[in-house]
A and B are shown apart, each in its own frame.
Chain A
Amino acid sequence: EAGVAQSPRYKIIEKRQSVAFWCNPISGHATLYWYQQILGQGPKLLIQFQNNGVVDDSQLPKDRFSAERLKGVDSTLKIQPAKLEDSAVYLCASSLSGTGGGFWGYTFGSGTRLTVV
Chain B
Amino acid sequence: QKEVEQNSGPLSVPEGAIASLNCTYSDRGSQSFFWYRQYSGKSPELIMSIYSNGDKEDGRFTAQLNKASQYVSLLIRDSQPSDSATYLCAVRGGSARQLTFGSGTQLTVLP
Q: Which A residues have a C-beta under 8 Å from some C-beta of B?
A: 33, 35, 40-45, 48, 55-56, 89, 91, 98-100, 102-103, 105-111
A103 touches B51 (CB 8 A): yes
A105 touches B98 (CB 8 A): no
Q: A43-B44, A111-B43 are in contact. Are A103 and B98 (CB under 8 A)?
A: no
Q: A40-B103, A42-B104, A98-B98 are in contact. Are A103 and B31 (CB under 8 A)?
A: yes
A108 touches B44 (CB 8 A): yes
Interface size on B, residues (CB 8 A): 25
Partner of B99, one of A41, A99, A106: A106
Chain B residues near A110 (CB-CB < 8 A): 42-43
Chain B residues near A99 (CB-CB < 8 A): 95-97
Shortest Cβ distance from A40 into B: residue: B103
